[in-house]
Amino acid sequence: MRWRTLLWALLVLPALASAHHADKDARGLHDVTVLIIRHAEKAEPGNGLSTLGEQRAAAYASYFDPLRLDGESLQPQQLIATTDSKASERPRLTLTPLSSRLSLPIEQPFADDQVDELVRSLRKQNQAAVVLIAWHHGHIGKLINAFGGSAKDLLGSKSWPADVYDWMVVLRFDDRGRLIESRSERVQEHLLPSDSGRTSGT
**Strand, helix or coil for residue 186:** strand
Residue 81's domain spans which residues? Answer: 27-188
133: closest CA among 160, 113, 97, 108? Answer: 108
The values of phi and psi at residue 68, to 5°, are -110, 120
Flag whether 46 is in a domain: yes
Flag whether 199 is in a domain: no
**pLDDT value of residue 201:** 33
**pLDDT value of residue 23:** 47
Radius of gyration of the chain (CA): 19
pLDDT tens track for 158-186: 999 999 999 999 999 999 999 999 999 99
Flag whether 196 is in a domain: no
Flag whether 8 is in a domain: no
Flag whether 75 is in a domain: yes
Flag whether 184 is in a domain: yes
Flag whether 11 is in a domain: no
Half-sphere exposure at residue 176, Cβ-oriented, CA atoms within 13 angstroms: 2
pLDDT tens track for 97-134: 999 999 999 999 999 999 999 999 999 999 999 999 99
Number of structural domains (the chain) is 1
Average pLDDT for 139-143: 98
**pLDDT value of residue 122:** 98
For residue 175, give the CATH number of its domain.
3.40.50.1240
Comparing 57 with 8, which gets the higher pLDDT? 57
**pLDDT value of residue 26:** 80
pLDDT tens track for 52-95: 999 999 999 999 999 999 899 999 999 999 999 999 999 999 99
**pLDDT value of residue 186:** 97
Flag whether 17 is in a domain: no
pTM for this predicted structure? 0.86
Q: Is the pLDDT of residue 188 over 60?
A: yes
Per-residue confidence band for 24, with pLDDT thresholds at 50, 70 and 90: low
**pLDDT value of residue 110:** 98
Q: Is the pLDDT of residue 22 over 90?
A: no
Distance between first and last Cα of the chain: 69
Residue 179: Cβ within 10 Å count: 18
